[in-house]
A and B are shown apart, each in its own frame.
Chain A
């Protein structure tokens, strides 16, 4: 009995960062040995030296290293062991008792940090221009191998296994009727949850059309919008795919540098997609942030990766994705039977048309094109992002008694 109790126990969690860890990080940043400048005037060879130097300068001279601990410890955090891995999560219950439980999953190179500013609008809508019936009870887990979650020591933690763990987490928290949301890797986890259809999961919302990144052959390609999206995916696959292939094939290789050099880590994390790269670069070089993608927010996230030493383990999640794809070759997952909501943000890697979302999710009940925001929508535009979730899930709330 005691073993079982231990395994399903939910323990409060408190972040503690020691001064010597900060001192060591600052020492390494100050001692950075830089490569020569890239030979081009854009991001086509990677993160530009001027952007990364501006980041290093702000990180050592202006960034408040106490921020990370304060921001996280202001929130109720817990850990619980699921399937052999300690899962860290933030759990913010709304004051509105009939709020809809929502498990929301971050991506790479993100973490729970990218979701923090959406907590207010989602759990306390009346203070953020919404209505009480828009409220969510929010569960924000850290993916295995990311942040304060444990690092898997065996193969097999692909997004489908994470999806099963999230269902167990919601069950363990006593939520018998809940929804799920995600972008990036979080979209993959959420998509897997939708296909698995665990008891209690009544709907999902995503802001990245995961399946289209891997295969567009079954998607309509006639309209201008569809052609533009195809072209955007083509551009990503030919010139923006380096990090993806690296992490899918040799996560340990890049891991050595990511663990040993904070600037290698920062550079690697900045080069995700063109839109977010230029937004973040502008924040550091010109001091002009876009929405919530501020210098401090970006460095909260990078500092979290550094201090938890999770550069390699997070990269490994892509390797797991590649392995899972290879193992599943040819086998289609079970059809999604629950309602699906989708939002296309204009700065995303590709602007998914409604027709694609409908093709991939015949149970699509909500589709919208947001006015602003990119790949890290919750981070960049938390209010718009929250508005999208309210819209996507409102019809389900009405049917609550059914």
Chain B
């Protein structure tokens, strides 16, 4: 029996190598795209505009090189280990500093480990005198090179338990956790479970919206007394709900398989879905000098979903979660978190809760800050600033 146990907890090195036939098939499909007519409006209110998607797809089909994206992953130590019956892929970048703090960082949707690559260097090899981290960056179940669950039940709570097991398996008895987007939901679940080794968490998509405000947004209660700052945040949330930004959230929550057919068979369908997400919708792919994300970076991420055929399986996380808004304090039960919590609100994210709400939501809050720069995918967009925030948040628990 001992061999079974050993096999199950074994940590195997991993190297990404997508067969060339898959890469060729993607190009062939892109070249054969059958496009819809132009939308009937002059903005993105019907979805990503044809004139915006087409140049990106033209580049994807011609000059984009997946092997360069793959090389970015393979430049880092990657592993796979089976947890709770599922193979989990992760990057494990140890700092040369022995006193570095182990940290598990979780990506979101439609992101992937690609959104976190730029923080590896600043966090594992910081400037003189700054705190260092040992980084563990897993791919969520059903995402990227992690296996696709074949049974229901892989919700954020179960993922959170798997992450604690992963950290133990790596020999980290004391560690911290960080996440934005789905990564925040998983990280907050870890905070509620408070496993013995978890010292603290930091999130950059806080579930700060108080119950009375949430009810007012849903139209089931009157608008409570609000400060000017709170009022602005409230109006922003109401406008966002009305604008249809959350439609992808509802569609994936209700029927991930229906969306899955299109995004599995049509790479353009996949790209179009990603551009629904507020975090992607405003990116310029490098054509704006103030926007650091290049076309290649965006396409590395979309190609990873395509080439691992995880567009449908990743969407199922929404279904598993059951539709609770990740910004709602009640839905995410963040009042039950018992470990110290740090929160950073990045100033260019679509959701910017006032600090007063965050303080109400998290009883164990030890750090909160609002930055000027950085958006929904802050680690991707502003890796240095993101790293500074994480260091500041975890200063207290070192």
Contact = CB atoms under 8 A, between A and B. Distances in A.
Interface of A: 32-40, 45-49, 52, 151-155, 239-243, 245-246, 248-261, 263-264, 266-268, 271, 309, 311-313, 316, 319
Contact of A261 (B254, B256, B266): B266
B79 to A, nearest CB: 23
Interface in B136-185: 148-152
Given A246-B247, A316-B40, A260 B268 contact: yes
B261 interface: yes
Contacts of B247: 245-246, 248-250
Contacts, number: 183
Nearest to B41: A155
Contacts of A239: 254
Given A242-B254, A245-B254, A261-B262, 9 more contacts: A35-B264, A36-B148, A242-B251, A246-B259, A252-B272, A255-B272, A256-B268, A266-B261, A268-B262
Interface residues of B, number: 55
A350 B99 CA distance: 63
A259 B34 contact: yes
Contacts of B133: none
30 contacts: A35-B264, A37-B150, A46-B255, A46-B258, A47-B257, A49-B257, A153-B37, A155-B40, A240-B254, A242-B250, A245-B247, A245-B251, A246-B250, A250-B46, A250-B247, A251-B46, A252-B47, A252-B50, A253-B273, A253-B276, A256-B36, A256-B268, A257-B263, A258-B36, A264-B269, A267-B258, A271-B255, A271-B258, A312-B36, A316-B39
Nearest to B46: A252
Contacts of A151: 37
Given A155-B41, A256-B272, A47 B36 contact: no
Given A40-B152, A250-B47, A319-B46, A257 B269 contact: yes
Interface in B311-356: 311-313, 316, 319
B47 A48 contact: no
Q: What is the predominant secondary structure among interface residues of chain B facing chain A?
A: helix
Interface of B: 25, 33-41, 46-50, 53, 148-152, 243-244, 247-248, 250-251, 253-266, 268-273, 275-276, 309, 311-313, 316, 319
B257 A35 contact: yes
Chain A CB within 10 Å — which of B34, B261, B265, B269 has the most?
Answer: B261
A249 B244 contact: yes
Chain B CB within 10 Å — which of A32, A34, A250, A255 has the most?
Answer: A250
Given A252-B272, A261-B261, A46 B47 contact: no
B268 A268 contact: no
Contacts of A257: 261-263, 265-266, 268-270, 272-273
Contact of B313 (A35, A40, A240, A256): A35
A35 B255 contact: no
Contact of A33 (B53, B151, B264): B264
Given A35-B264, A245-B250, A250-B276, A256 B269 contact: yes
Contacts of B316: 39, 45
Contacts of B41: 155
B326 to A, nearest CB: 18
B311 A35 contact: yes
A249 B46 CA distance: 6
B257 A38 contact: yes
Chain A CB within 10 Å — which of B49, B257, B266 has the most?
Answer: B257
A34 B263 CA distance: 10
Chain B CB within 10 Å — which of A255, A256, A258, A312 has the most?
Answer: A256
